[in-house]
Amino acid sequence: MIVINDFGAVAHAVARAREEDLLHLAGPEGPLPPTGTISVIGPGTGLGVAHFHRLPDGRYHVQATEGGHVDFAPVDHIDDMILARMRARHRRVSVERVVAGPGIVEIHRALAALENRAVAELDDRTIWERGMSGEDSLCAAAVDRFCLSLGSVAGDYALAHGARAVVIAGGLGYRLRDHLPRSGFATRFTFKGRYQQMMAGLPVKLITHPQPGLYGAVAAFCHAYRGTTT
């Protein structure tokens, strides 16, 4: 028996994923790099962050993290407003407060305040449903803003990990699979000042395996006890 972090299991799934289980989102087309570090980011009810490093002989090492709890870094005046509003309610604002499913509520409220609009208080599920269907323009704008923030933090983790590629995972990431390529996700991902050109050269994928956690748990067991890489 082994004990494994849930998002560590997802990173194992990404490390073993077939090319057809990885949907291209941004950056260069083609498979994931055969060697080097790959960041794995998963928005859901929280924000999972892990990375793995693949060696030339096919072996790899997964590192689970608590990266979802680093500080949220605003990029523009709307991010500033979101941060200010959340700081009034929380002692400290982590990226998980914004770039996870429940964070859409505060994004929605901030956009309403910015437009001086009086809107009904909606729960996160309703905002996601109305926003992704396009039936409510403010909810749709909140979804777009979420994608921008996800692009920013995914790029930050890639820089911090020294990654050669990034894979988006998580239940919410999968639901956004059609929306992310059409959003400002890629623009924010590369918006890293002097490193913009380097960031544009990193492939960004989304894992589409239906059960990456369970698949990854099995992969982690094989990795620990059999030393297998396939």
pLDDT digits (tens, 9 = 90+) for 1-11: 555 677 888 99
pLDDT of 228 > 60? The answer is no
- Reference 41, options 192, 180, 144; nearest CA is 180
* Average pLDDT for 206-219: 77
Model confidence, pTM: 0.92
- What are the residue ranges of CATH 3.40.367.20 in the chain? 6-67+164-225
- In percent, how much of the chain has pLDDT > 70? 91
Q: Cα Rg for the chain, rounded, in angstroms?
A: 18
Give the pLDDT band of residue 230 (cuts 50, 70, 90): very low
For residue range 24-78, list pLDDT tens digits in order: 999 999 999 999 999 999 999 999 999 999 999 989 999 999 999 999 999 999 9
pLDDT of 17 > 60? The answer is yes
With respect to CATH, is domain 6-67+164-225 assigned 3.40.367.20? yes
Helices (H), the chain: 6-16, 77-89, 95-98, 104-114, 124-133, 137-161, 171-175, 185-190, 196-200, 212-225
Are 86 and 93 in contact, with CB atoms under 8 Å apart? yes
Task: Read off the tokens for 170.
Answer: 């998580």
What three-state secondary structure class fits 136?
A: coil
